[in-house]
Amino acid sequence: MKISKIESIPVRVPRPQAFKSSLGMQQASENAVVLIHTDEGLTGIGEASSIWDRRGRGESETINEFLAQTLIGRDPLRIREIADHMDQILHRSYPAKAGIEMALHDIVGKAYNVPVYQLLGGQVRDRVLLSHSLSMGDPAEIAAQARRLVAQGYKTLKAKIGRDIEADIDVLEAVRSEVGNKITLRVDANMGWPSAKEAVRHIEEISVFDLELVEQPLPPDDVEGLRFVRERVDLPIMADETIWTPHDAMHCIRQQAVDVFNVYVSEAGGLGSAARIFAIAEAARLPCIIGSMPELGIGTAAQAHLAFAMPNLGFASDVNGCVYHSGDVINEKLPIEDGYMLLPSGPGLGVSLDEAARPKAPPVPEATGETRESW
């Protein structure tokens, strides 16, 4: 079997309400759908998801202009070989690589008529506990979000903090008052605190709200600062933006910087690299969760397969990016019930592209004698 064609399509799917964190406001997800065709008629589907600067259009350009032609004629079953090749010709560009690698896993699963989680080691759990993030806003608005999500079955909520300590305390007080102590509450500073000492001071002040953990309190490169914080607070510290690659994971472990890894398929460069981060963490006896950009349905399906195969998935995970959107790019509805992701079905990723989601080509201007510059 050989790869005959690769195409990447930028897509934009709005959210019902804008989502705010310390990173800014997001009104839609701009991702890229990846389709890999083979000479035997199999097509694999993937997704490049990113909230960072390049987003869907940029990731599509990377795939279509730099990666696609170098992969034509290669055997799609040799996933690791192709992943290593992409690393050799492109530094970083992890979401683009992840989209291709995801589609390769889909092809292999279809070729052997098995779900992707079997390719990653096999099923180790019957369902995956989900978490859901709360958009920043005034305390009453955030408490109302929490109430709606608990009514939908969510048992773990994540509050976005990192503005100023008084505002954060007001939000956590409102959420705890609304949902009580039976709901697990974690916080994500999204790199919002400028120094380790300030992070320690803030964490000590918010620890009275019975929090599960604190996610990424400092900028991603401040591994020494993370260790400083971890050594001085009682709450577990989780790395997010600090952990992109297996190398990053090893560095954090050597520095004893964090207690938990938040692993992203897109940021890791694919399912294989994400699974290796899980393996590194398991060797160090650290639990992981799976984080979300948030993905659309394709990326969420890939996350779900990873979640069902990783033994050290230790906390509720964000394997539900698709629910943050008002539409999707797949035909199927993923099995999310009562705050859990259920086992995906079908060979490969088990999802297919809704052709209506393809952006329509812009109309071709009629010939008028005008030049392109005069349009």
pLDDT tens by residue, 112-159: 999 999 999 999 999 999 999 999 999 999 999 999 999 999 999 999
Q: What is the DSSP letter of 348?
A: B
CA-CA distance, 61 to 318, in Å (whole number)? Answer: 28
Give the pLDDT confidence score for residue 116 in this predicted structure: 98
What letter represents residue 127's amino acid? R
Give the pLDDT confidence score for residue 356 in this predicted structure: 87
Give the pLDDT confidence score for residue 202 in this predicted structure: 96
Q: By three-state DSSP, how is residue 230 classified?
A: helix
- Which pair of tokens denotes residue 216? 């990424």
Give the CA count within 13 Å in the CB-facing half-sphere of 1. 18
Q: What is the DSSP letter of 317?
A: B
The arrangement of secondary structure in 3-113, i.e. its CATH architecture, is 2-Layer Sandwich (3.30)
Q: Which position has the token pair 């310390």?
A: 22
C-alpha dihedral sign at 50, 51, 56, 61: negative
Question: pTM for the complete prediction?
Answer: 0.93
Fold of the CATH domain 118-355 = TIM Barrel (3.20.20)
> Is 196 exposed, middle or buried (CB count within 10 Å of its CB: 0-12, 13-18, 19+)?
buried
How far lies 143's CA from each of 139, 150, 340, 357, 362, in Å? 6, 11, 22, 34, 43
Q: How many Å separate Cα 335 from the centre of its chain?
A: 18
Is residue 191 within 8 A of residue 162, CB to CB? The reply is yes
Domains in the chain: boundaries: 3-113, 118-355
Comparing 3-113 with 118-355, is the CATH topology the same? Answer: no
CA-CA distance, 223 to 232, in Å (whole number)? Answer: 15
CA-CA distance, 173 to 182, in Å (whole number)? Answer: 15
* 43-48 and 127-129 strand pairing: unpaired
CA-CA distance, 234 to 214, in Å (whole number)? Answer: 10
Q: For residue 84, what are the contacts with CB-CB under 8 A and spacing of at least 6?
A: none
Give the CA count within 13 Å in the CB-facing half-sphere of 195. 3
Give the CA count within 13 Å in the CB-facing half-sphere of 26. 24
How far lies 50's CA from each of 11, 131, 241, 270, 300, in Å? 12, 20, 12, 13, 13
CA-CA distance, 119 to 294, in Å (whole number)? Answer: 24
Which portions of the chain are predicted below pLDDT 70? 52-54, 360-375
Give the pLDDT confidence score for residue 236 in this predicted structure: 98
Segments of the chain assigned E as strands: 3-21, 24-38, 43-48, 127-129, 131-134, 156-160, 184-188, 211-215, 237-239, 260-263, 288-290, 336-337, 340-342
